[in-house]
Chain A
Amino acid sequence: MSQILSVSEITNQIRQQLEINFQQISIEGEISNFKPHVSGHWYFTLKDSGAQISCTMWKGLNNYVFFKPQDGMKIIANGRITIYPQRGNYQLDVKSMKIAGEGELQAAFERLKKKLYEEGLFEENHKKEIPQFSSRIGIVTAKDGAAFQDMISIASRRYPLVELVIRPARVQGEGAAEDIVSGIQELNKTDVDLIIIGRGGGSLEDLWAFNEEIVAREIFKSKIPIISAVGHEIDYTISDFVADKRSPTPSAAMEIATPNTEDLLYQLTELQNEFQNILQNKLDGSRDVLNKVLNSYGYRMPQNIIKNKMQYLDNIWYRLESSVFHEFEKKKNKIEVLSNIIDSNNMVKIQKKGYAIIKQNNSLVTKAAELRKEKHFLIKFYDDEIGIN
């Protein structure tokens, strides 16, 4: 007869057997039913076409996983088998996990990309415009990384008026995605005009934080425009697709984020020339208008009036002059005629020739019949007169 055991006893025996035999195993399988608990622990199932096994991964260990497990992802999990007596089932206590092959990481990338694409996170109409003149640019990256140094030198060369606000963040390894997320959140509470998130190039694993869903969603949520600047030209991350602008490198991001001083100075010179030209044209135009006005009939009229009056005056003068002179001449002529007559009638001249004048009663006696011989009369010679009777 076999020994009768309690449920706890047999469970304990199985547990010892299992835990001794499977202390350190690696299992390859596909994740399903992945549930990150609020406590920080992960619960999921690994399966293949014929079987499945429950898995747990405790907080503190799952920190070291560089990617966020997703359903459908093929992984290799390392850990030990344990029993959960209350449920009577066995499970894999995962110590570490990695993506099953480089191709699987790519597949995970594609899955998330497809999911977010279908949700509309990549759509153009969600993309905010990158300001042309940012006064302050927030940067989420490693403070001592080459990417940040590159960005500083580009900013100094192109647009030294800008202020760079660095929010130092882990950009790879454990907690990188979370750090980037809080960086975006914190910068959203400042007055930066633009945020650049990024890092230099690296392997797909190195860049993985920028392929995490939480980063993608935070980028999407950001009120401030974000440029994603991860790695080299060829590297594309999920962040690149969600961001308002993707740039091939951190340096290129700073070029997009800033205007070029050279161009600005040129523009300023152009503006100055333009001002000068416009003003010159206006001055010329006003001068033309002024000349036109001065030459207009209205302005010429007073001059004409004066000229006309002057002419009128001159005319009167001529007329006056001519009439006065005329009269004068006429009178002068008459005087001459008269004086001639007087001359010719000069008695003295005639009397000197031997003629005498007879005057009676103070008037000339021209006929013999009129003379009264008995009365007094005068005989006037040129030199004297003689009274008769």
Chain B
Amino acid sequence: MQKKFNSFEEMLKRLQEISEELESDEVGLDNSLKLYEEGIKLSKACAKKLEEAEVKITELKKSLES
């Protein structure tokens, strides 16, 4: 159930999906509960990620040909 996401954007996208799925009438109560749980977990993970992050700086060395 806990999927690995490569980027924050993907996590947000999944959250949006969950929101849409939850809102749809086709999803049963069992699934809704699962989605809800996933959504809350994911949004908390997102917030944690944001709060704990620090900007990373890398330097691209000039290529010698130029």
Contact A165/B46 with A135-B7, A182-B63, A275-B40 known, Cβ cut-off 8 Å: no
- Report the bound CA distance from A295 to B51 in whole Å: 51
**Nearest-CB distance from A182 to chain B (Å)?**
4
**Nearest-CB distance from B56 to chain A (Å)?**
4
- Whether B57 and A265, one on each chain, are in contact in the complex, defined by CB atoms closer than 8 angstroms, is no
B60 partner, pick from A133, A165, A268, beta carbons under 8 A: A165
CB neighbours (8 Å) of B2 from chain A are none
Q: Is A356 an interface residue (CB 8 A)?
A: no
* Chain B residue nearest to A265 in the complex (CB): B47
A271 partner, pick from B9, B19, B49, beta carbons under 8 A: B19
Per-position 1/0 for A162-182, Cβ under 8 A of B: 111111110000000011001
**Nearest-CB distance from A269 to chain B (Å)?**
8
**Nearest-CB distance from B27 to chain A (Å)?**
8
- Report the bound CA distance from A161 to B43 in whole Å: 15
- Number of B residues with CB within 8 Å of any CB on chain A: 34
Q: Which of B19-51 contact A (CB under 8 A)?
A: 19, 22-23, 29, 32-33, 35-36, 39-40, 43-44, 46-47, 49-51
- Whether B50 and A166, one on each chain, are in contact in the complex, defined by CB atoms closer than 8 angstroms, is no
Query: Which interface class (under 10, 10 to 19, 20 to 34, 35 or more) fits A?
Result: 35 or more
* Chain B residue nearest to A156 in the complex (CB): B55
Q: Is A143 an interface residue (CB 8 A)?
A: yes
CB neighbours (8 Å) of A346 from chain B are none
Per-position 1/0 for B1-24, Cβ under 8 A of A: 000000111001001001100110
Q: Is A186 an interface residue (CB 8 A)?
A: yes
Contact A168/B62 with A272-B43, A274-B19 known, Cβ cut-off 8 Å: yes
CB neighbours (8 Å) of A264 from chain B are 12, 46, 50
A265 partner, pick from B19, B50, B60, B66, beta carbons under 8 A: B50
A166 partner, pick from B22, B58, B63, B66, beta carbons under 8 A: B58
Q: Which of A137-189 contact B (CB under 8 A)?
A: 138, 143, 152, 155-156, 160-169, 178-179, 182-183, 185-187
**New A-B contacts (10) at CB < 8 Å, excluding given A143-B59, A162-B56, A169-B62:** A162-B55, A165-B58, A183-B62, A186-B60, A268-B46, A268-B47, A271-B19, A272-B43, A279-B32, A279-B36
CB pairs A–B below 8 angstroms (11 shown): A133-B12, A155-B55, A166-B60, A168-B62, A265-B51, A275-B22, A275-B35, A275-B40, A278-B19, A279-B22, A279-B36
B residues adjacent to A (C-beta < 8 A): 7-9, 12, 15, 18-19, 22-23, 29, 32-33, 35-36, 39-40, 43-44, 46-47, 49-51, 53-60, 62-63, 66
